[in-house]
A and B are shown apart, each in its own frame.
Chain A
Amino acid sequence: MPTAHRAETTPSLVGTTIRRAIVLGRIYLVIGIAYCVVLTAVTSVSASSSSLAGVAVFLPVFAVVGAMGGMMVFTNDRLKGVLEYLLSYGFTPRRLFVNVLVASLVLASIVLGTALALGVGLSVAKGHPITVPLAELLGLYSIPMSYASVAFAETVGMFWTSLSSPRSGMTSSVGLVPILGIAPAVIVVIVLTAAHALALPGELAALAVVGIAVLLMLSLIGRLLPLERLLSPT
């Protein structure tokens, strides 16, 4: 049912949400970037160019940590009644989800941009060329898997937030999201370590699974999340 005080179309709040995500999640953003800087700096000391490959495999983990601000905005907004306010002005649950998702992906881009600029820069500075397998790893796995992991973590977190009473600590969505979000990337790392190889097909398969899971969850928002789920439970 349309609300009787909405405008014809709802405005974009992405810019404001990104700013809020940076403010609320700045500690996570700093931690995500710091991990990248430290790991890149440590591995750049190595003489082998494949050390950058090690960093590349971990990029999704750093991206998920750095993008936590988006989840914090969503959790905060549900609890404080901001989602209720926006719903009353005609915003749909899907619109609210996507708004936060875009903000999270922007935060992830900040982490990825820092990591890639630093990693590639140091590697080139030390005279290590960016090989084709490394470029493939970055372009076909690390970067897309980072975005997919962030989207996976945020979507699961938003569902968890919407379907549960407010929680604190590790069972809150803010506590769960990093653990859930890094799971696919960590599993890939474990499998690759066990196989002693960088198996691109395996990485692409993992990426596809995560991507499909995200798309499935996003497509089910309308069915699984009636408006009541987004109202403040207090």
Chain B
Amino acid sequence: MSSGYLGTPVLQNVSFTIEEPAIYVVLGPNGAGKTTLLRTLAGILRPYHGELRIGGVGYDDPASHGRLHYLSHMDGIPDGLRVRDALDFYARVERASAADVERVLDLLDIRSLAGQYLSQLSAGQKKRVSIARIFLQERDIYLLDEPTSNLDPKVAREIRTLILELSRNKIVLYSSHNLFEAREVGRYVLVIRNGQLTLFDRIENLRSSRFVIGIRVLEPSAALEGYDRQGDYFLRELSGPGEVPALLRDLESRGVKIREVREMDNPLEELFG
């Protein structure tokens, strides 16, 4: 299918089928079309060409209704309400019960916030409330647009854990531009580049053609002569991560005081061009 905004295409000839319950990470640089893909799958944007089908039936078939949850990259927080009222608001929209609201207050650990106005919450707390709505009702497919953006690492990890549990028997499409996050949660990856699906594969097959590490040291050393430099980092190309410990032992034995070691090449740079 192809889709976009106000007649201007963003996604072009994107086609894929998903059957296995898992997390499918939609990766791509900013503006590639990740949000457009999820909005189209959510039924907000109408495809210009092509067709969307769930369980073999089109979106206009009542059998397809009530099978998706969509979480946009915006919080979707209805200001002017307290947390519990906001959850009641979501529950009303999604035909969930008061018991479901009570359940997600505990699940997302936001019961202590229930009486607070949403405007009083931090960004992380708002995100928790926002994400809580997708746990009000079970659906078959979850479309999550950057669900952990703007969260501190601890909260982001907690949210990812919840989503991982969810994905045991559900299909989750999870957009991100962070490869490391993708590797942590995803089983499959869909790479969107310039509005086209350029890769759909298992995530472990996503690797760089080169493995380059950067070494940052406390003070310059003659042992690092001949290394290329990138900012504060001395670069060394290896055949794989297995060679790193031996290299570090060798450098340390030659008096190099190592401060930091990191992988320099990001496969996303190759994929995104």
Contacts and interface: CB of A to CB of B under 8 A. Distances in A.
A6 to B, nearest CB: 6
B204 to A, nearest CB: 30
A81 B92 contact: no
B68 A4 contact: yes
A8 B77 CA distance: 24
Nearest to B64: A4
A186 interface: no
A142 B39 CA distance: 45
A77 B92 CA distance: 17
Interface stretch (B11-19, B79-87, B107-115, B215-223): B79-87
B99 interface: no
Contacts of A24: 79-80
Interface residues of B, number: 39
A232 B79 CA distance: 15
A86 B67 CA distance: 16
Contacts of B76: 80-82, 84-85
Which of B44, B66, B68: most chain A CB closer than 10 A?
B44
A208 to B, nearest CB: 34
B271 to A, nearest CB: 26
Interface in A186-233: 226-228, 231-232
A7 B137 CA distance: 12
A172 interface: no
A73 B94 contact: no
A20 interface: yes
Contact of B6 (A19, A85, A228): A228
Interface string A1-44: 11111111011010010011101100000000000000000000
A138 B68 CA distance: 51
Given A4-B68, A13-B93, A20-B81, A226 B59 contact: no
Interface residues of A, number: 36
Nearest to A234: B74
Nearest to A89: B93
A19 B80 contact: yes
Contact of B78 (A6, A20, A228, A231): A20
Contacts of A19: 80-81, 85
Interface in A65-91: 73, 76-77, 79-82, 84-89
Given A82-B78, A88-B70, 18 more contacts: A2-B59, A4-B54, A5-B43, A5-B67, A5-B68, A5-B139, A6-B65, A8-B65, A16-B89, A21-B80, A76-B80, A81-B74, A84-B39, A84-B76, A86-B93, A88-B72, A89-B93, A234-B74
24 contacts: A3-B43, A4-B65, A5-B43, A5-B70, A6-B66, A7-B65, A7-B66, A10-B93, A16-B81, A20-B81, A23-B80, A73-B80, A76-B80, A77-B78, A80-B74, A81-B76, A82-B78, A84-B76, A87-B44, A88-B42, A88-B70, A88-B72, A227-B45, A232-B72
7 cross-chain pairs, A with B, having the tightest CB-CB distances, nearest first = A81-B74, A3-B43, A20-B80, A5-B68, A85-B76, A23-B80, A81-B76
